[in-house]
Structure formats: structure tokens, C-alpha cells
């Protein structure tokens, strides 16, 4: 595993085609390393495609990815994915899900770190439980524990909280930020929720059918909610 400290992850003129249609066309963006970039936009503008390109799960027709000016090859880095559907396997307990993620990424299994994560996310009582024995909020906490346990170069999150009810979502958002601050790392976080994008993002990447804009200091933007609604609609 290589380190991403003190660098920027750049996508340069990336084009992704699908059925003769360009999902991303000459797309360029710079992600600050060690920070959370929330990604927001209407459906179909390429948010998930972008994540898959960074993860190495989607080929692109042209363009380059670089890290601090050097070619960025996803398979040479450790990636962690927290998907919308939690991504838990039905035959794995919460503890097994975390341990197996560490094994797959060839990282040491540190029981102390695992316990700290479970305590932080309030899931100690779920250690031996299977997904069908958990609520949606509990499954999402386990998914977060798995994502944070892996010392990932890049943490990729694809609308991870969208299936949760409002109260649970707010609780998980707080737990996510508290846990992220324990192990801050480069995080790309897709959301359809404008308030969530502002709350969690140290910068916000706004994708539209015609291009993209990086809002680097969202806390300094006046009328940001109205502005984002105007750009992407209410979806």
C-alpha cells in the first residue's frame, strides 16, 4: 500500500463511454488528499461512474489519473467502498465482515482497533450477529466499521445513508464524522441530499450534464442551499 499524504488526486480529461454515449466527457477534477469531498448532482450525470473510475472498476476511453503528478493506478492502492446497500454478505457476522476486509487487502488484523471502531459506532452488541438480524441503521454502522478498519488510500461512499430514516441518518452522519476524525483520509462521498453534502463535505463537487464545479469553501458560500437547488434541482 502506498501513501497519499500531502498530494492531490487528479483526473485529467477523462472520457467514459456507454452505448456510444459519453457519461463523462473530457472531465477533469482535483481531489484534495486527506479530506472529504462530497459529490452531488442530478441522476444520470455520472456520479457513480466517477467513483468507479477512481476505484479502477470502470475503464475510460481517454484521459489520465495522477497522484502528485505521477500515474495513479487504482490496483496499486487500497480502496474501501461503503455502498448504498451496505454490501454485507449474509453468511458473515459483523466481526467476520471487518476481518475478511482486512484479509482481502492484506492488512494486519488488530483486534484493539476493531474493538475501538465497534465501540465508537455503538455496535459492540452486533459483533456476532448476521445482517438479517440487524436493522438498516445497524447494517450501515457495520459497513462503516468495515470501511474504516481498512487503512484505505481512498474511501469511496455511494449514497451510503440514503436508505435510512431521518433520525437514523442524522445519527449515522454524526458517527461517521466522529469516526472519520479518528482516521481522516481521502473520502469521496456521493449524496443526493444537499444538506448532507454541506454538512459532511470540506469541499463539494457539483456535477451537471454540462460540466462540473468544485466549491472549495462551502461554509463561506452565501445562499448555498438555494444555489445548489438551482443547479441540480431538488433531486
Domain spanning 1-77+154-235, CATH class = alpha beta
Question: For residues 78 and 151, what is the distance between their CA atoms, to the nearest angstrom?
Answer: 7
Kindly give the confidence (pLDDT) of every residue in the chain, 235 residues in length, as a single tens digit, with 9 standing for 90 and above: 444 444 689 999 999 988 777 788 899 999 998 999 999 988 888 899 999 999 999 999 999 999 888 899 998 888 888 888 888 999 999 999 999 999 998 889 989 989 988 998 889 999 999 999 999 889 988 998 998 888 788 999 999 888 788 888 888 899 889 888 887 889 999 998 998 999 999 999 999 888 888 988 777 776 888 878 877 765 4
Across 76-219, where does the E strand assignment appear?
Answer: 79-82, 154-158, 186-190, 203-208, 211-215
Rounded to whole angstroms, how far apart are CA atoms 167 and 169? 5
Mode of pairing for the β-strands spanning 8-18 and 203-208:
unpaired
Q: In the chain, where does the domain assigned CATH 3.40.50.300 lie? A: 1-77+154-235
For residue 10, the tally of other CB atoms under 10 A from its CB is 17
153 contacts 78 by C-beta, under 8 angstroms: yes
pTM of the predicted model as reported, rounded to 2 decimal places: 0.86
Query: d(Cα 56, Cα 75) in Å, to the nearest integer?
Result: 7
Specify the pLDDT at position 235. Answer: 47
Q: What is the reported pLDDT for 89?
A: 95
Amino acid at each position: 500500500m502506498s501513501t497519499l499524504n500531502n498530494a492531490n488526486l487528479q483526473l485529467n480529461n477523462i472520457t467514459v463511454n456507454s452505448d456510444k454515449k459519453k457519461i463523462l466527457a473530457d472531465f477533469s477534477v482535483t481531489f484534495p488528499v486527506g479530506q472529504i469531498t462530497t459529490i452531488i448532482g442530478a441522476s444520470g450525470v455520472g456520479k457513480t461512474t466517477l467513483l468507479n473510475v477512481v476505484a479502477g472498476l470502470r475503464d475510460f476511453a481517454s484521459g489520465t489519473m495522477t497522484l502528485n503528478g505521477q500515474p495513479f493506478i487504482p490496483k496499486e492502492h487500497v480502496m474501501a467502498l461503503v455502498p448504498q446497500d451496505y454490501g454485507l454478505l449474509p453468511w458473515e457476522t459483523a466481526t467476520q465482515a471487518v476481518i475478511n476486509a482486512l484479509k482481502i487487502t492484506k492488512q494486519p488484523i488488530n483486534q484493539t482497533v476493531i474493538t475501538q471502531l465497534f465501540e465508537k459506532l455503538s455496535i459492540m452488541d452486533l459483533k456476532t450477529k448476521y445482517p438479517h438480524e440487524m436493522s438498516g441503521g445497524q447494517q450501515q454502522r457495520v459497513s462503516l466499521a468495515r470501511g474504516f478498519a481498512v487503512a484505505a488510500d481512498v474511501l469511496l461512499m455511494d449514497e451510503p445513508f440514503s436508505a435510512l430514516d431521518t433520525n437514523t441518518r442524522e445519527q449515522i452522519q454524526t458517527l461517521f464524522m466522529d469516526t472519520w476524525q479518528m482516521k481522516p483520509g481521502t473520502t469521496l462521498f456521493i449524496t443526493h441530499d444537499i444538506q448532507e453534502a454541506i454538512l459532511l463535505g470540506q469541499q463539494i463537487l457539483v456535477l451537471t450534464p454540462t460540466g462540473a464545479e468544485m466549491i472549495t469553501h462551502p461554509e463561506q458560500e452565501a445562499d448555498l442551499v438555494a444555489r445548489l437547488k438551482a443547479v441540480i434541482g431538488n433531486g
